[in-house]
Structure formats: C-alpha cells, structure tokens
Structure 1
C-alpha cells in the first residue's frame, strides 16, 4: 500500500507540474525570448545537438533542374497564403497564450491591424499543448514566407466568437442556441480549428502547380507538409470524439464536421473538395469505408482550391469580390486586392 500511495502522489505531482507549465506559458511573451517550459528535457554537456546542419557536403540537396530560386510569378500565389497563415497564427497563439503576433513577433505583422475578438481559450492540457505548438509553428511559417518572397501587411482578421457563431449558423441553416463559442472549451476550439488549416492545404496543393522556382517549391512543400499534419491532428482528435454530442446542443462532433465541410463546398462553388469525418461509402477510401479521418479524392490525394475559391469561403459570401467574415475589409496581397469590387479596393 505504501508503494501504491507513493505512485499516486508522484502522478499527482507530475500533473500539477504540467498544469503549472501551461499557466507559465500562458503569460505574455515577446520575440526576445519565450518563458521557460519546465517539461523540456535538460540538455547535458554531452547531449547531441538537434539542429540540422545542411552545410556539409553529404547534406546538400540535389541541384535544381531550373536554377532559379524564385520566379517573379511565384510571388503573388505564395504571398496570398500569408492571409491564411496570419489567421492561423493569431487564432492558435491567442487560443493558447492569450496573445498574438504583436507580442510574439510584431515585426512579422508588417504594420497590419490587430485581430478582432481573439482571446485565450479554456483548453485541457493535451489540447493546450497541441494548439501552443501550432501557434508557434505558424510564426515560423509567416517568417519563412516573408523571407523567401517578401511579405504583405496582416489584414484585418475577425476571430470573434460572434464570427465563428455566424459560420456555424450558416453551416446548420439555423441559429444555434446559445451561439457557438470556440473559446469556451477544448471541443469547441478544435471544431473551430477544423475550419482553417484544411483550407491552407487546399491552397498549397493548388499553388504548387503554378510556381517553378526551386526555393518557391521547397517552401510550399514544407508548408504543405506541416499544414497537412496540423489538419490530421485536428481531425484525429475530433475523430476520437466522433459520436459525442457537443453540449449544450444535441449535435454530434461528426455532424459538426460534416456540416462545416458541406458549407465550404457550397461556398467554394466548385464541387466536392471537402469531406467531414464520415462519408457515404462511395466517397471513402477505395469506396470501401465510411469513416474519413483524412479528406481526400478518389485516389486519396488532397484537393486543390484556387485563391478565388478560398476567398468565397473565407469571406462567407460565396463571392471572391465581396469581403466579409474572417476578412471584413478583404484579404491582402495583389491577387486578393485585384479580386475585390472597386469600393473595397481603397480600404
């Protein structure tokens, strides 16, 4: 009994340490340095470095077939992606830490306005860890894009609970009561997260076919890999709760994802490029299964979407010329600004 009691005490102490670490990380921090994370292993004097050195002769990549790092026509499609990367960065950083790019890496915002309504979410320990990592990854994504092709100012982004409630009301075709709030618990936050990274996958798959520079392609491949990973984690965590109802609604997690995916297909106006966590058998992998952990086509390949399709969804208007929803004044970059109707181009 003594050993059993000691084990219970040790487990309780460990969980307390983990909870404290989350509180410590939740404090505001700047680009000068992040708070110490007590769950990180201590590095001894003989521990190997985890940083990769690509400068050695055995580590250099194969020479490119076309020795041009970035073609001029590569710039606009990749800069367009910053609209989504900014959105993800702000949503995940605020959800985990209660602060955004203006506190973490203010230089990356390039003078763009602060987001509307973003705030810290009430997350359990596992979800907090996932979202905290995603937020910090998005900082790297924004930096990598700006370093490679230059940046655009962060657009005005609406991450308010009211905006997410509008999305869910539109997905279900009626007003949820009470209104959906992504910040009240982990399940709601993951359902809200389901709306965003997947669109980044669509955008990068589509952009890959129209860029040619070797640095451009390497960047897009790297971004696509992590965005796909983020989406897979989000879908995987939601899949574990597939049949659970989301309080206080009598609606399952599966139905939420199905409705959001159907809404994105409807707004995108280019057929089925989005699937929830359950599908008819004919849409499942090899037409043999109805569960759908990953969204993909008949050959299990990711769906592409054009910038116009993405804007129709993100504006929630079904029209790439009329802004709204996540980008009340429109997305930024040449592609997005040229698609706006004339009255909005001056904003």
Structure 2
C-alpha cells in the first residue's frame, strides 16, 4: 500500500510537470524544463525557425533529400565543369542531361587550387544525397541562361531586355577568375544558408547531422570565395564595366529581395547597423547577424531566388523546373507558429553607429573608423525605413567615385533602449 501510494505520488508529480510544460511534435519546447530561455532576444533565429516550420508542411525526409539533389546538381556541376572542364560521373547524375553552357573556365593559379577543392567538395555533397537515398536524376540546369537572367534582374533591366542587348555582350561566368568566383559564390551562399535551414526540418538525426555538415562545408567554401573576391574587389566585371564589389552588391541585394522580408544577405562591404561590421575597412568575409550567427533559408526561399520569383518554380537556372515534391516557391515568405511563449526580456542586441558611440561612457570613445574611398561606390548599405523589400533599396546605393563612406557601425552593445548598458563588447 505504501509503495503504491509513493508510486502514485511520483506519477502525479511527473504528470504535473508534463502538463505545465507541454511538448508535442511541431512544438519547439524541449524536454529540458530548466528555462526560462530568452528566445525573444534571438529574433533572427526565432523567425528562421518559424519560417522552417511553415516550409516543412507535410514533406518527408526523402522529399528533402530529393530537393537537395536538385540544388547540389546545380552547384556541383557548375563548379566541376568550370574547374575541370568535365561534369559529374553517371552515379551522381543518374542519367541527368548535360547542363546548358557547360565548359571550362579560364582560371589562373591564383584561384584554380581553391576552386578545385570547392568542386570536389560539391561532388561530395551530391554523393551524400545519393547515399541518403535519392534516386531522381539531376535536372536540366542552364549556366549561361541562368546567370544572364539573374544578372539582368540584378541590374533591374526591363522585362524582355537581355544583358547582351543592354551591354553589347552576354555575361560569361567562365570568362576569367573574377567572373567565375563571383558566379560560384552566387550559388554557394544559397547552399550554405539553405542547408543550415534544412538541418532543422529533417526528422532523422543521421540526415540532420549530414546536412549540418553540408552547411558548415558550404559556409567554409563561401568564406574562401569571399576572400578571393575581396582580393579582386577592384577587378572589372564584363560586360557591366563595374568592379567585383559593385556587381556582387547587386547580386546580394537581388537574393535578399527574393527570399522574403528578412535581411539575410550581405555584400563584400557591409555598413548595415543590424549586423556585424568591421570599423576600419567594412570588410565582410563572413555574413552574419549581430550575434555572429550565419543565416538560414528554406527550400522555397532558394527556389524563389533560383527561378527569379516564378511561382511555378520554372526558369533561370532550372528551365524545366526542379524534380520532386519540393519544386515551387509557394510559401517562401510564410511563417508558422509552433513555439511556446517564452518570458520576454527588455534586453536587446544591436550595433551602435559611430555617432551614437559618442554618448557611451569611457573607456569607449568615438574616434570613428578610417575613411574608405573609391571602392565604396556601391555598398551593401541598407536604407532602413525606406526599404520596401526590393533590390533597389537593398544595397543599390550609389555615391560619387572617391566619396568617403563613413556610415559605419563598430561596437556590439547589449542593453535596454534608452537605459544604462549592462555590458559592452568592443
């Protein structure tokens, strides 16, 4: 009798805890009830998870693996053809067609060794999808048409006007070091952010672990590519007659405008007060939020970018569309509930501008950043309240050549708005 009553008491306590702290599929509260967790502070990550819950819908893990096959076939075949002059072997394409515009890039020894490693990594990413159970062939992908459509959109050309018509010749992604690395990075960062987003959508922990590895690998590759582009930032990209830095700012702005309302894309130079910035140079080799955390995208966001907003998921890099259940951008800007209410906090994370730093107590001072000129003719400066979600207000900010750009941010702060700072980190 005593044992029975003790057991009943224990069960009552356990059930009481379970009732007070519910956990169910789709609900992100874990079995760790030692909170509270100030999720309200992690706004970027919180919103990414809500977008992921909406993107998951009823898709299976195999659907996700098939989606990965589509994008890894695009990235991997572009990198492999450009670097080595040949494509995937049959066990990776499974009978898929040769990409349109496939050929070797004109690379120098400055970039070739790095691009060879990237290409081999991307072949490995495609192999992962095959070993994870993907049986669909690689879809038809279009290198020349895809990049020229993408650049036409990045430059805001009217519908039906091509890059060749506007500038006298088409954009050749294989022309030289700068064109090729810029093109590789255009796709690479979609893989890095997309794979990070997918890691939270898979139910099988083995797949989740592998996809997380794809994300970290792609992020590392993108970092190398950004470093190469930073070294080539003043090189001219034909046929546009603009620098690498300027053209990539347009690419970044276009990607950001096509994946929903969040700000999750940055150029080689970054002066956005909502993210990490380097005071003296504005260099932006690892794009992150203000916490130094990389961004996530859903499959639908990436499809919307790669097909330039076509609702049927056909066009640009995928002239016949993607293969599999996840093949359209429907819901790319949707979010869903599924997270419990967590205690809020008055603390916020943000970056102070140079001007605002002048109001902060010693020992921090507001000496300001070094002046950077010339290279900042087109930066990834965002326009704040004027932003309307289009590429035109997501980075396409012109200043006269040689004009200093001092709108930098330099110190991460955590504090209460209008109140005292609890701690500071330079």
Q: Taking structure 2 as the reference length, what is the TM-score of the superposition?
A: 0.58
**Contact kept in structure 2, 1:208 and 1:220, CA below 8 Å:** yes
CA contact (8 A) 1:270 1:309 kept: no
1:312 matched to 2:299 = no
How far apart, CA to CA, are the structure 1 residues paired with 2:321 and 2:128? 23
d(CA) in 1 for partners of 2:180, 2:315: 21
Q: What SS does structure 2 have at the residue aligned with 1:151?
A: coil
| 2:255 paired residue among 248, 260, 264 | 264
Q: 2:155 aligns with which of 172, 178, 181?
A: 172
Q: Which has the higher contact order (CA 8 A, sep 6+)?
A: 2
Alignment CA distance shift 1:218-1:192 (3 Å): same
Of 169-178 and 213-222, more deviation after overlay is shown by 169-178
Of residues 268, 273, 293 in structure 2, which corresponds to 1:301?
Answer: 293
In structure 2, the CA distance between the partners of 1:324 and 1:299, relative to structure 1 (3 Å rule), is same
After superposition, where does 1:134-283 map in structure 2 within 5 Å? 134-160=118-144, 162-174=145-157, 175-247=166-238, 249-283=240-274
| Alignment partners' CA distance in 2, 1:262 and 1:186 | 22
Normalised by the size of structure 1, how large is the TM-score?
A: 0.71
Structure 2 distance, partners of 1:137, 1:92, is 10
Render the CA deviation track for 1:198-232: whole Å, top value 9, x for unaligned.
00111111111122322112211221121111111
Give CA deviations for 1:172-210 in whole Å, capped at 9, x if unaligned.
124344322111111111111121010011111111112
Does 1:78 pair with 2:65? Answer: yes
What 5-or-longer segments of structure 2 have no aligned partner? 1-30, 32-58, 158-165, 332-426
Per-residue deviation, 1:284: 4.1
The answer for unaligned runs of 5 or more in structure 1 is 1-64, 66-71, 341-347
Q: CA deviation at 1:281?
A: 4.3
CA distance in 2, matches of 1:169, 1:115: 20
Change (3 A) 1:135 1:224: same
Partners of 1:256 and 1:138 in 2: how far apart? 24
Higher share of residues assigned helix: 1
Deviations 1:239-275 (A, max 9, x none): 1122333356431211111100111112223332211
Higher strand share: 2
Aligned Cα RMSD in Å? 2.4
Once the 2 structures are TM-superposed, how far is the Cα of residue 305 of structure 1 from its aligned partner? 1.1
Are the counterparts in 2 of residues 81 and 203 from structure 1 also a CA contact under 8 Å? no
Residue 78 (structure 2) pairs with residue 91 (structure 1): yes
**Quick check: which has more Rg, 1 or 2?**
2
Q: 1: distance between equivalents of 2:198 and 2:221?
A: 19
